[in-house]
């Protein structure tokens, strides 16, 4: 996770570099003409790894077009039959809905809470300096242990969460064991785990705002709330959106937290595409159909990311 | 510490028997020792190799693991147990074997998962080893395993499907379980509740228990979204309602899960779960069921009988408080039914140390290891007839803390049988059933859900 | 920041920081506490926050055994 944080910052920087370097394009062109073996050697590993990934990806797509099933002696090419069969079932659409609901609500809530948390820690009051490292805590835990931890805490009979709720007079709650609350509970776990990611990136954005800008706003008579809404928010919007892009990709693919707690249940209430694909392929051993579901999941992620990146570009354009 | 004296007694009994065969009482022990050595296979032929043995975290694994130092002393082979929690184990097993990874040599499996694994040639057929006099000791006595268990683990693969009853041996049983209702005597007595025999009776008992003590979960059953929640309570009770997972119709296999019997069963069963089971039903595996019985938070449970026995062992908090009864049956049915599960040891076809792996399987399922495990209170239902005629085990199981374990075992075992139709594709159909069960418990219409379930199973056949 | 906040505002913000920190750390702290309890204590209701830590059972019995552990420590299986 923290790797991704670095990635995000890296992306931001590299795009800034690109803008700067466009001036000496002329000079670079001349260099490019001479074949630079050293540069080639330097990027070769990256290209090989990329080709490997591409190969695996296309192999997966190919699998999704076959009736590959465990123990079946002959594997036939069956075109889009897997997709047809999958799309026809109601369960599939239920999974698509669950995937979207999970990802959208988690990312939205995380962005809001992350913004609040970042603002709070940017306020610079005494305790923030002491507590800053704590923000990172949920991010450094392996997602599977997060899932197990929350399963224990959300136990309907002797989980600590129900106890804490009972202290303020709220009756027992079934959390992940009830179809009607399972999805909310999972989103809650996701929010706890990944809000710090947003907070971290937005915090970096807030630090990057020149104090003079704020000063100028204040001189012009803007009060605290107005400064935030009209000056700060537009300036950190690209940061929020880039974090949202990363989180959206991850939560549309989310597997660990969901499989580790409910395995997609109760019933089909939290059976998102990635979990359904895993169960189809690795528990039911229908690899072809599982691959088809994974390809569909990939397309959903692609679509979601595309929209988010568009939004990010738009916002960045308006800000700069 | 019942284990150490038990094991010692086991040893001495074994020696006495050997001595009698040799019929020279005085020099008997020494003579038989030499003779046994001469006839026996060379146990040290794979000295120095090391094996990985994968298994569920389970008392049966503990029973064998506790005796591993003896195996190392006997053969010079080092065995590393890799134990995983139930759900994780089955997922990992499928992935390890289907990727043909050689890292696991010996794996624990049940028959049903093996149906799915054998057609892909992921398990090594064991006949070759069983019939090799250089590899299998004459005293191993494969015929000593109960015939029903041997038959269940023998089949041939034809066109990707299972043909049961003849063919090759795919795994060796080392412990089995039959499904029973076991209950906390102390709790039922305290509230004056009679042991229920049908699901509606159970529902009534649960309501009574709940109103008497809301902190108690009346019934512990597995409900996870995985086939392991089907093969215990659900299939056993379903069978007594006349439900079959698959039936042969016009020479073709056809699912029986949308039959009128199945609808009747599910109505009763779902009603019972709603009234009896813990709110965490959808996340409960056997760990939760056993823990509930053990701590007294759960009054009754329908699961493998050995979990009751295991917690009756002297020194456990529930020792002497758990009693046994046959599983529930249909209200209009004559008999109860009990599914069996056979924990077996199988060999990974991709293993590179098959000889050593066979020695381990052979040792782990040998008469002595089975008996030692049984009297340690862990390997409860030995698959060997010899264990069940051995006085050491019978004396142990008849101890007062095990209440009516032996009597109930005898009654249930008469009707205990594999309730599933041998078929590759077991996991897919049964996982779908588990999901449907969760939906029905959540309030989905029983008939409609079963129709959907049946059409889902048909579409993948 | 260079603005000077009024004392109540800064106190309130400090309290908010404490609340956030609690929410972020509590699950972890709770799980660590659980790992130091005995099985029966883990299951008690209401959950207890003060208990005598038990290092012996927690680390070795309630967690899945690591490979090889049983071969070297059979004594724990006997009891």
Looking at residue B169, its pLDDT comes to 93
At residue B156, what are phi and psi to the nearest 5 degrees? -120, 155
Residues 314-373 of B with CB under 8 A from A: none
pLDDT (0 to 100) of residue A222 = 75
- For residue B447, the model assigns a pLDDT of 95
The structural domain count of chain C equals 1
Which of chain C's residues have a Cβ under 8 Å away from the Cβ of B289? none
Q: Is B159's Cβ below 8 Å from some Cβ in A?
A: yes
Q: What average pLDDT does the segment A98-111 reach?
A: 95
User: Is residue B73 less than 8 Å (CB to CB) from chain C?
Assistant: no
Give a yes or no: residue A283 inside a domain: yes
A223 SS3 class: coil
Q: Where are the domains of chain B?
A: 1-33, 50-176+347-409, 177-339+415-459
pLDDT higher at A228 or C57: A228
Interface test with B, best of C67, C69, C79 (most B CBs within 10 A): C67
Is A24 among the domain residues?
no
Chosen from C57, C63, C65 to mutate, greatest number of chain B CBs within 10 A: C65
A-B contacts at Cβ under 8 angstroms: 99
Q: Is residue A207 part of a domain?
A: yes
pLDDT, chain B, mean? 87
CA distance B329 to chain A (A): 26
Among A67-76, A196-205, B81-90, B440-449, name the one with the lowest average pLDDT: A67-76
The arithmetic mean of pLDDT across residues B275-286, rounded, is 91
Answer CATH for B177-339+415-459 from 2.60.40.10, 3.40.50.720, 3.40.190.10, 3.30.360.10: 3.40.190.10
Domain containing residue C26: 7-62
How far is it, in rounded angstroms, from Cα B199 to Cα B331?
Answer: 8
Q: Percent of chain A at pLDDT above 90?
A: 42
pLDDT of residue B121: 85
Alpha carbon of C71: minimum distance to chain B alpha carbons (Å): 6
Interface test with B, best of A70, A156, A264 (most B CBs within 10 A): A70
Q: At CB < 8 Å, which residues of chain A contact B?
A: 70-73, 85, 89, 151, 155-157, 172, 174, 176-179, 261-269, 279, 282-286
pLDDT at B414: 86
**In this structure, is residue A159 part of a structural domain?**
no
A61, A267 in Cβ contact below 8 A?
no
Quick one: pLDDT at residue A12? 44
- B87 vs A: CB within 8 A: yes
B348 or B87, which is more confident: B348
Contact A135 C25 (CB under 8 A): no
Chains in contact with B, where contact requires at least 3 CB pairs less than 8 Å apart:
A, C
How large is the average pLDDT for residues B43-55? 93
Q: How many domains does chain A have?
A: 1
Domain containing A286: what range? 90-147+180-319
In a domain, A163, yes or no: no
Calculate what percentage of chain B has a pLDDT beyond 70. Answer: 92
**Which pLDDT tens digit goes with each residue over B111-165?**
999 998 888 888 999 999 999 888 999 889 999 999 888 988 999 888 778 888 7
Q: What is the average pLDDT across A273-286?
A: 90
Q: Do A85 and B459 touch (CB under 8 A)?
A: yes
Q: Cβ separation of A153 and C27 shorter than 8 Å?
A: yes
Does a structural domain hold residue A153?
A: no
The answer to ipTM > 0.95 is no
What per-residue confidence (pLDDT) applies to A133?
A: 86
Minimal CA separation from B81 to chain C, in Å: 5
Query: What is the third-level CATH fold of B50-176+347-409?
Result: D-Maltodextrin-Binding Protein; domain 2 (3.40.190)
Q: Sorting pLDDT into bands at 50, 70 and 90, what band is C55?
A: low
State yes or no: pLDDT of C64 exceeds 50: no
Q: What is the pLDDT of residue A6?
A: 44
The reply to whether domains B50-176+347-409 and B177-339+415-459 share a CATH topology is yes
- What is the reported pLDDT for C65? 40
- CATH number for the domain harbouring residue A257: 1.10.3720.10
């Amino acid at each position: 996770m923290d790797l991704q944080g670095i990635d995000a910052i890296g992306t931001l920087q590299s795009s800034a570099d690109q803008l700067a370097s466009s001036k000496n394009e002329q000079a670079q062109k001349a260099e490019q003409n001479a074949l630079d073996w050293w540069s080639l050697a330097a990027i070769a590993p990256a290209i090989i790894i990329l080709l490997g990934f591409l190969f695996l990806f296309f192999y997966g797509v190919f699998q999704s077009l076959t009736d590959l099933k465990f123990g079946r002696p002959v594997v036939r090419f069956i075109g889009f039959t897997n997709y047809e069969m999958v799309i026809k079932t109601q369960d599939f659409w239920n999974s698509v809905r669950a995937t979207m609901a999970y990802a959208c609500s988690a990312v939205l809530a995380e962005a809001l809470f992350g913004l609040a948390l970042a603002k709070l820690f940017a306020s610079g009051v005494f305790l923030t300096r002491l507590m800053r490292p704590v923000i990172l805590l949920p991010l450094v835990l392996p997602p599977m242990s997060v899932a197990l931890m929350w399963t224990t805490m959300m136990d309907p009979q002797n989980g600590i969460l129900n106890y804490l709720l009972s202290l303020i007079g709220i009756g027992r709650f079934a959390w992940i064991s009830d179809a009607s609350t399972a999805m909310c509970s999972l989103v809650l776990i996701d929010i706890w785990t990944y809000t710090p990611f947003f907070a971290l990136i937005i915090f970096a954005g807030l630090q990057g705002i020149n104090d003079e800008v704020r000063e100028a706003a204040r001189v012009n008579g803007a009060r605290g709330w107005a400064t935030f809404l009209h000056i700060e928010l537009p300036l950190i919007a690209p940061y929020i959106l880039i974090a949202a892009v990363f989180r959206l990709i991850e939560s549309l693919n989310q597997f660990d937290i969901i499989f580790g707690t409910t395995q997609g249940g109760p019933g089909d209430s939290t059976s998102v595409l990635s979990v359904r694909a895993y169960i189809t392929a690795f528990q039911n051993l229908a690899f072809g159909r599982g691959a088809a579901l994974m390809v569909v999941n990939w397309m959903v992620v692609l679509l979601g990311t595309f929209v988010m990146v568009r939004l990010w570009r738009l916002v960045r354009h308006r800000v700069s | 510490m019942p284990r150490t004296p038990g094991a010692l007694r086991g040893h001495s009994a074994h020696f006495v028997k050997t001595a009698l065969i040799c019929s020279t009482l005085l020099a008997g022990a020494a003579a038989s020792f030499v003779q046994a050595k001469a006839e026996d296979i060379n146990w040290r032929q794979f000295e120095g190799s090391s094996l990985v043995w994968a298994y569920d975290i389970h008392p049966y694994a503990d029973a064998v693991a506790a005796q591993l130092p003896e195996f190392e002393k006997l053969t010079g082979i080092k065995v590393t147990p890799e134990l995983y929690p139930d759900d994780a184990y089955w997922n990992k097993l499928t992935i390890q074997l289907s990727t043909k990874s050689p890292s696991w040599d010996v794996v624990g499996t049940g028959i049903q998962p093996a149906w799915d694994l054998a057609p892909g040639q992921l398990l090594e057929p064991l006949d070759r080893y069983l019939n090799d006099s250089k590899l299998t000791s004459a005293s191993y006595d494969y015929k000593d395993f109960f015939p029903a268990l041997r038959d269940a683990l023998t089949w041939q693969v034809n066109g990707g499907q299972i043909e049961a009853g003849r063919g090759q041996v795919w795994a060796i049983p080392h412990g089995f379980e039959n499904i029973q209702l076991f209950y906390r005597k102390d709790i039922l007595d305290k509230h004056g509740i009679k042991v229920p025999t049908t699901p509606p009776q159970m529902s009534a008992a649960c309501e009574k228990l709940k109103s008497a003590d809301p902190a108690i979960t009346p019934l512990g059953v597995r409900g996870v979204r995985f086939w392991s929640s089907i093969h215990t309570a659900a299939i056993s009770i379903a069978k007594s309602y006349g439900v079959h997972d698959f039936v042969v119709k016009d020479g073709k296999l056809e699912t029986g899960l949308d039959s009128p019997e199945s609808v009747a069963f599910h109505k009763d069963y779902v009603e019972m779960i709603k009234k009896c089971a813990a709110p965490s039903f959808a996340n409960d595996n056997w760990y939760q069921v056993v823990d509930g019985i053990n701590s007294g938070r759960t009054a009754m449970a329908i699961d493998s009988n050995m979990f009751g026995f295991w917690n009756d062992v002297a020194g456990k908090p529930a020792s002497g408080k758990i009693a046994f009864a046959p599983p529930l049956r249909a209200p209009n049915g004559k008999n109860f039914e009990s599914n069996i599960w056979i924990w077996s040891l199988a060999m990974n076809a991709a293993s590179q140390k098959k000889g050593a792996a066979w020695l381990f399987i052979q040792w782990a399922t040998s008469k002595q290891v089975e008996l030692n495990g049984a009297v340690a209170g862990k390997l409860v239902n030995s698959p060997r007839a010899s264990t069940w005629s051995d006085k050491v085990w019978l004396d142990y199981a008849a101890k007062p803390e095990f209440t009516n374990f032996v009597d109930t075992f005898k009654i249930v075992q008469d009707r205990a049988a594999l309730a599933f139709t041998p078929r590759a594709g077991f996991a897919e159909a049964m996982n779908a059933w588990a999901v449907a069960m969760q939906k029905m418990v959540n309030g989905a219409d029983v008939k409609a859900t079963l129709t959907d379930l049946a059409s889902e199973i048909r579409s993948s056949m | 920041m260079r603005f000077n906040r009024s004392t109540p505002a800064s106190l309130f913000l400090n309290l908010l920081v404490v609340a956030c920190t609690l929410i972020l750390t509590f699950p972890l702290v709770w799980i660590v506490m659980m790992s130091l309890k005995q099985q029966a204590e883990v299951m008690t209701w209401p959950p207890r926050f003060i208990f005598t830590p038990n290092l012996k059972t927690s680390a070795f019995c309630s967690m899945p055994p690591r490979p090889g552990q049983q071969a070297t420590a059979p004594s724990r299986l006997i009891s």
